[in-house]
Amino acid sequence: MHPIVDLAKKSIEEFLRSGKKISPPKELSPELTARAGVFVSIKKHGNLRGCIGTFQPCTPSVAEETIQNAIAAATQDPRFNAVTEDELDAISYSVDVLSSPERISSIRDLDPKKYGIIVVQGMKKGLLLPDLEGVDTAEEQLRIAKTKAGIWSDDQLEMFRFVVTRYR
């Protein structure tokens, strides 16, 4: 298990067992000291159980971003009840570290296997990670991201793409 995935796992386990947030390890690899947006996804028996993240960094390091977002994925994803301690043995984890978003002018600039998408319209924002099962076209990727954001038109729609480094 990659150290960043292990950090997400330990963060969730400790929080569910004690209610306490762990501190980042003292010795951090360069990838964990960097600043970037991070998404933590948790699955139970292959089905999504929680996914929360940030597309811009909100903490001083990827390690802290991972800890914060792992706990949120397990306890605050509005689509699911909070993960329970009884479920921990059945949970698998992945962590996506995002590149800086790049503005695009057309969905022709997307490839759903390579790029994630961020859509923005006024205060509404939606994000969809790349390389998701069942998302095979840029049109479908855009539609899902807009739906997540509650965006129903293309008026003044801004689009951004990003790549991820996915750890499992």
- Report residue 166 as tokens: 């996915």
- pLDDT (mean) for 101-123: 97
CA-CA distance, 18 to 13, in Å (whole number)?
9
pLDDT digits (tens, 9 = 90+) for 38-93: 999 999 999 999 999 999 999 999 999 999 999 999 999 999 999 999 999 999 99
Would you list the domain boundaries of the chain? 3-98, 102-162
Residues 117-139 pLDDT 10s: 999 999 999 999 999 999 999 99
Nearest to 145 by CA among 129, 126, 160: 126
Question: For position 50, what pLDDT does the model report?
Answer: 97
Q: Give the homologous superfamily in CATH for domain 102-162.
A: Hypothetical protein ph0010; domain 2 (3.30.1490.150)
Residue 41 has a pLDDT of 98
According to the model, what pLDDT value does residue 24 have? Answer: 95
Instruction: Provide mean pLDDT across the span 146-156.
Output: 95
pTM (predicted TM-score): 0.93
b/e per residue, 143-165, with b = 16+ CB within 10 A? ebbbeebebeeeeeeebbbbbbe
pLDDT at 146: 97
Task: Provide the residue count of the chain.
Answer: 168
pLDDT at 39: 98
Q: Distance between CA 39 and CA 37 in Å, rounded?
A: 7
pLDDT of residue 25: 92
For domain 3-98, the CATH superfamily is Hypothetical protein ph0010; domain 1 (3.30.700.20)
